[in-house]
Structure 1
């Protein structure tokens, strides 16, 4: 571990702003959510009603997990924010590890560092230490903050440590992924796929009910967060599972790092044919070759996610059973169908945020091509910058519609089978999903502007998604001013199915996206490639 201390200090210095944003943001959002919960569900009657409705409903179980104990604000917080918050902690950890391992190798800096008095394992160990510190600090600050707000210390620390444990696991996942691929982008994609599978296993296991495969939740680190049951028994022993998995992953990563060359991956880049096919003679053909794997993967993933969420849509109606007061309110709003539409609109909004991850990946492929010195040879040919950027942006924009339509098809088919109207439900939910396309295009435009004007800050595109996630999912709960929530393009999308669709907000969002793209093209013309 020679040089470990120096590399840790270097990483902390380089990421001092980034880490501050992650830590302050996640801790602040968590504590603000807890404060808002106290205002919304401060009374015992309100929490009991929550338990009787959303807390035991398959649809809400799939989205948020089980509500084990609503007698305390901490228990409601663990249900309402736990899954999404721990998901963000996992993303932070895997991004940090990739940034200080595989990305450093791609840039050539790690080879220079390795020529000094630095051991082979020190760079990987430094990245792991920084990611562990970040997630642990977040967990401890959350625990201390909840304790200071009057919640039980045992429950607060169970929540905080379980929160951090997801970061520990995905620190290990990121460390292993960094050994497999030659590019940081692919390493992040592998880690992201593992995170997506973990979310899916948790959703299926939670929504299964007592007679279904609830054991699937035990296969997911996100499920372990819930099984710790913060404020509802405080099962600290469950935290041994993420610790054990992290240890296994760390041993695997430290072993694999010695089995490959610096700059190489255990999964070598596949050599292509000696002669290129005619399809690669254009910028569009090259973009299709580079983008197709990701587009197919995201299409299949959101199709499956749509199937999972659509399969539990019928369970929303069970919220009305045994609750005459709620049934009366819902009947005044439009009957049982209305509450199902509210649920479907919610899950379509969540899926649209997932599709924004795809569109950022597709857009930032331009930055990958530039930093890996493949863009310059392409632009040295008669291919213009407009054609090069436009070909990749085409897959980001059209691909958005493809992946969202796939999610709508998945949800529409399974929900349509239940209600006996497959064709009608597929049309409704595909239409609802496609309604979010202009909002996702705005995200693509922002990513392009960052790439064109401040390429070194292109990765800030991921922060844009996190901000929109917080504004969309927690904005009303945090009682933010409407102008703040309006900063997210997803706020302006009609809540379909169920709500009336007006063309004005969709047209305005499309114009904003087009304006951002125009700014991006103009900025790219004014800077040097590389």
Structure 2
């Protein structure tokens, strides 16, 4: 039988299932790029401001590590690429990876692939459909990016090259995720492995750009950024991306024929014959399941905090040369450094919220996999089954914001030669927790009363990220901004800690969790 038989039918099925999810990805990444490009263009609108940016940011190793090669920073178009490229590149890579795994390994894990295989469907049809959708969505995002930057006088060639570099990275990570889906036995492991490759690609690119070494050519992110927009406009690095993607997809197809449906090339590791005492309770089990995730997020937020903290002194130099930035920071009512620290702590809170939402919804995945009912059949009550993982979720969130604040403080201390801000930033990072609690409460509410709509918790998180990042550029009405719980937090350290909004958000979060727990206790499991 033709291995691709039925691909068209499965392609329509994938598009139908993911039509909303993929539309959100496209609109979010293209919208962020367009808004960021417009904001950068309005901020650096004179030759003096552009020269200041090139002098202060382009020469910073931390900035190069974070954003990429500092090319063409003497033009507004080069600054736009420098400010926007990494965000959309990371976003399209995550989108492609999650889409590929969702319609390959995740389908096998729940048994739908085996059900489809019993009909007239080729062995490679499901994988082909997933890859086509992931790659096509990457191309659509690339076209959207092309249109976004064309509005900033990029020119046709440069606009198309920018969009193509974005699409190429999405295609590469769709291929990487497809290989991971063949190797691993679980969707969560396959996604984690792909994101680990993404992290390694970022690290190699960062080290290579800072050192000016060939390490960038070991990174798929490096291939996309080495097109060197406005400093050569090279198309040929994208051929490397497409060649590697093609080889990976051929390898994935070969691996598919070398394993059984439902299993990965790498078998599951056999567990111990007896469970340890730490696994004798739902709380211990929740920690065992989540500890790897907590560690990964902790490393990520510490690194992010270090990057933020390393910019503190350079930002002051930039503000001195840019009246637009001076006006912005004067409106905050505090010093430039405090305003910058407030932004850094907000991002630590948003990062912790990302972990917390994923952690709170972990029970939904366990329920879908059929692992909750056996536990409830014993002496574990539904209250303990729901609330024990929440202890890990909230404890992990508190740990993450603390470590993020610590990273900001340590980097600032190394740059300034004074550690007077370290403990202060760690303490102030806890101000973000009530907003995190509200998002966790929303996730639990949906888990208890509308488990089919749990994606709304992710939508709420995405909205909070967009408002926190681009709210000023988007100029949305106050009531729209106010839908994000993070907008109601006191803007520390610029403002003093105000207990009223913190208490209100805490009560709201606890109330949502309580309502969700009632719904979870009453509804059918599974």
TM normalised by structure 1 equals 0.88
The residue correspondences of 1:130-149 to structure 2 (distance < 5 A) are 130-147=133-150
* Aligned residue number for residue 462 of structure 1: 458
* Aligned residue number for residue 505 of structure 1: 501
Q: Write out per-residue CA displacement over residues 92-116 of structure 1, whole angstroms, 9 at most, x where no aligned residue.
A: 1111111111111122110011122
Which residue of 469, 478, 488 maps to 1:492?
Answer: 488
Q: 1:72 to 1:452 in 2, by over 3 A?
A: farther
Q: Write out per-residue CA displacement over residues 416-451 of structure 1, whole angstroms, 9 at most, x where no aligned residue.
A: 3444444x3331232233222222222222222222
Q: Secondary structure at the match of 1:505?
A: helix
The residue correspondences of 1:98-497 to structure 2 (distance < 5 A) are 98-147=101-150, 150-203=153-206, 208=210, 212=211, 215-319=214-318, 338-422=335-419, 424-497=420-493
The residue correspondences of 1:79-94 to structure 2 (distance < 5 A) are 79-94=82-97
Cα offset, 1:371, TM superposition: 0.8
CA distance in 1, matches of 2:93, 2:322: 40
Q: Secondary structure at the match of 1:436?
A: helix
Q: 1:528 to 1:47 in 2, by over 3 A?
A: same
* Aligned residue number for residue 512 of structure 2: 516
Q: Write out per-residue CA displacement over residues 272-295 of structure 1, whole angstroms, 9 at most, x where no aligned residue.
A: 222323332222122122222222
* Contact 2:175 2:245 (C-alpha < 8 Å) held by counterparts: yes
Q: Write out per-residue CA displacement over residues 346-404 of structure 1, whole angstroms, 9 at most, x where no aligned residue.
A: 33333332222221221121012101111001111221111111011111111011122
CA distance in 1, matches of 2:509, 2:67: 31
TM normalised by structure 2 equals 0.88
Cα offset, 1:314, TM superposition: 4.2
5+ residue gaps, structure 2: none
Cα offset, 1:128, TM superposition: 0.6
Q: 1:375 to 1:437 in 2, by over 3 A?
A: same
Question: RMSD of aligned C-alpha atoms?
Answer: 3.1
Q: Secondary structure at the match of 2:520?
A: helix
CA distance in 2, matches of 1:169, 1:134: 13
* Contact 2:35 2:470 (C-alpha < 8 Å) held by counterparts: no
Q: Secondary structure at the match of 1:401?
A: helix
CA distance in 2, matches of 1:309, 1:38: 23
* Contact 2:344 2:408 (C-alpha < 8 Å) held by counterparts: no
Once structures 1 and 2 are overlaid, which stretch shifts more, 247-256 or 308-317?
A: 308-317
* Contact 2:49 2:322 (C-alpha < 8 Å) held by counterparts: no
5+ residue gaps, structure 1: none
Q: 1:308 to 1:301 in 2, by over 3 A?
A: same
CA distance in 2, matches of 1:128, 1:388: 37
Q: Secondary structure at the match of 1:368?
A: helix
CA distance in 2, matches of 1:382, 1:196: 41
Cα offset, 1:172, TM superposition: 1.6
* Contact 1:493 1:506 (C-alpha < 8 Å) held by counterparts: yes
Q: Secondary structure at the match of 2:472?
A: coil
* Contact 1:56 1:66 (C-alpha < 8 Å) held by counterparts: no
